[in-house]
């Protein structure tokens, strides 16, 4: 469902091609989303949260591609992203399974030898999302960045910086999870002690320590790892041709025409190839720089991240708390909605109107029936008196009507 918006814009390209301002809005929102989510992923410690914000960032890339009318590049990245991000989430589940439910990367480490299949498959996905050739993510991300460079260098610059952040936080996850010493030993001993006191059903010792996942979990990882390595080899040009019956648009007006390079004049073809090679080398360099910085901070000098966090102070806290978007959302939307629902809909409408109407009707019916009940006294004289009184009223009424 998270990619439905990308598909919708790409499928509605005919409308967007006739609304340049709308395309610009899509490109700006996509570019800023990619950067915004990547900065949040840099400081997260929950392995699944890192991948969740990574997904938001990669969606930003896809929207950036759609915003510069490179629809096939956006769909191409949607496809390759499905391979390596699906693998990353499943591999993260395998890691969590291996360490008995732990999700904090600060309590992991040194797992590459204990869960080798998970390690190598997740390694393939990490290099793919970071944009290293010849992995799948390299081809699709490069196609997006090159298309952005032909429209607006600001999009391209932010995209390259986001690629650097992506490489950094993914290799940060990689190093914290699989390298160094295992940092969850105390927690593991505590769990083992608790499990020893309360044996698991069937006579087994609960989790049983760090271990590789069963085959039913590993086979999908291997399949997705192969796709993460080879999924981009179809190339953006072939993917353009495959989607050309759909995207027969005015993309050329935005400088992102899907015209195959082979059909261009020789000189233009050469210049195009040199330009693409130049921008590609910069994006690969950003991925390498992210890998190096993650290695420096989390392998070579692991004390530095804490020092940097303390030095940044409020800025680090803002990023750690996701720029307080959740808190702002709660103040502006959630709390007013809950308070309004409580005071107006619950107390006002439900209790004071609906419940009160039902309760008062029941009370009224009870009082009326109680009053009528007392008329049934069982006294024959009383009954005769009421009959006589009623007959007198009827006779009086008939006489009165007859005299008129």
What average pLDDT does the segment 220-246 reach?
A: 88
The predicted-structure confidence for 87-96, as pLDDT tens digits, reads as follows 999 999 999 9
Query: Tokens at residue 183, please?
Result: 């940092």
Residue where the block lists tokens 């959302």: 329
What percent of the chain clears pLDDT 90, i.e. is strictly above it?
Answer: 60
Give the number of other Cβ atoms within 10 Å of residue 177's Cβ. 25
CB 154 within 8 A of CB 74: no
The three-state secondary structure class of 46 is strand
Residue 394 vs residues 42, 103, 148, 382, 400: alpha-carbon distances, Å? 93, 88, 97, 18, 10
pLDDT surpassing 60 at residue 404: yes
The three-state secondary structure class of 133 is coil
The model's confidence at residue 10, banded by pLDDT at 50, 70 and 90, is very high
pLDDT surpassing 70 at residue 259: no
Write the Ramachandran bin of 355: left for phi over 0, alpha for psi from -120 to 50, otherwise beta: alpha
E strands within 161-299?
Answer: none
What average pLDDT does the segment 46-75 reach?
A: 95
Residue 51 vs residues 90, 162, 170: alpha-carbon distances, Å? 11, 15, 8
CB 41 within 8 A of CB 169: yes
The three-state secondary structure class of 104 is strand
Query: Tokens at residue 248, please?
Result: 């027969």
What average pLDDT does the segment 272-284 reach?
A: 87
Question: How far apart, in whole angstroms, are the C-alpha atoms of residue 211 and residue 131?
Answer: 30
- The radius of gyration of the chain's CA atoms, rounded to the nearest angstrom, is 35
In this structure, what DSSP letter does residue 180 have? S
Give the number of other Cβ atoms within 10 Å of residue 126's Cβ. 25
pLDDT at site 90: 96
The predicted-structure confidence for 183-212, as pLDDT tens digits, reads as follows 886 555 555 555 555 444 433 344 568 889
Q: Which of 90, 96, 164, 157 is nearest to 129 (CA)?
A: 164
Give the number of other Cβ atoms within 10 Å of residue 213's Cβ. 19
pLDDT at site 268: 58
Q: Where are the domains of the chain?
A: 4-320, 376-404
pLDDT surpassing 70 at residue 252: no
Q: Of 7 and 264, which is predicted with more confidence?
A: 7
Average pLDDT, the chain: 86
Question: How far apart, in whole angstroms, are the C-alpha atoms of residue 227 and residue 221?
Answer: 10
- Global pTM? 0.77
Residue where the block lists tokens 């692991």: 302
The predicted-structure confidence for 160-175, as pLDDT tens digits, reads as follows 999 999 999 999 999 9
What average pLDDT does the segment 216-233 reach?
A: 94
Query: Tokens at residue 11, please?
Result: 């499928």
């Amino acid at each position: 469902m998270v990619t439905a918006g990308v598909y919708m814009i790409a499928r509605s390209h005919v409308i967007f091609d006739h609304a340049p301002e709308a395309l610009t809005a899509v490109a700006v929102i996509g570019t800023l989303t990619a950067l915004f989510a990547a900065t949040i992923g840099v400081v997260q410690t929950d392995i699944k949260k890192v991948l969740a914000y990574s997904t938001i960032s990669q969606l930003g890339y896809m929207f950036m591609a759609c915003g510069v009318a490179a629809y096939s590049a956006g769909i191409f990245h949607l496809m390759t992203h499905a391979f390596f991000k699906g693998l990353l989430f499943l591999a993260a589940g395998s890691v969590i399974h291996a360490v008995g439910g732990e999700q904090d990367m600060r309590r992991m480490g040194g797992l590459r030898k204990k869960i080798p299949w998970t390690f190598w498959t997740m390694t393939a996905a990490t290099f793919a999302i970071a944009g290293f050739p010849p992995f799948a993510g390299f081809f699709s991300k490069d196609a997006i960045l090159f298309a952005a460079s032909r429209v607006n260098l600001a999009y391209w610059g932010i995209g390259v910086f986001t690629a650097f952040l992506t490489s950094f936080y993914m290799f940060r996850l990689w190093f914290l999870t699989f390298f160094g010493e295992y940092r969850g030993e105390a927690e593991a001993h505590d769990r083992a002690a608790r499990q020893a006191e309360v044996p698991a059903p069937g006579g087994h010792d609960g989790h049983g320590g760090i271990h590789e996942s069963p085959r039913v979990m590993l086979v999908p990882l291997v399949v997705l790892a192969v796709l993460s390595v080879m999924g981009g080899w179809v190339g953006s040009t072939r993917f353009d041709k495959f989607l050309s019956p759909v995207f027969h648009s005015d993309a050329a007006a935005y400088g992102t025409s899907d015209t195959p390079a082979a059909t261009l004049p020789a000189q233009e073809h050469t210049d195009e190839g040199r330009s693409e090679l130049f921008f590609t080398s910069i994006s690969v360099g950003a991925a390498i720089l992210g890998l190096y910085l993650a290695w420096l901070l989390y392998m070579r000098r692991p004390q530095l991240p804490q020092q940097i966090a303390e030095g940044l102070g409020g800025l680090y806290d803002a990023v750690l708390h996701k720029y307080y978007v959740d808190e702002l959302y709660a103040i502006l939307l959630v709390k007013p909605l809950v308070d309004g629902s409580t005071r107006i809909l619950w107390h006002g409408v439900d209790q004071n109107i609906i419940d009160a109407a039902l309760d008062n009707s029941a009370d009224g019916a009870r009082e009326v029936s109680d009053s009528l009940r007392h008329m049934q006294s069982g006294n024959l004289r009383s009954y005769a008196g009421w009959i006589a009184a009623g007959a007198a009223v009827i006779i009086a009424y008939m006489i009165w009507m007859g005299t008129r």
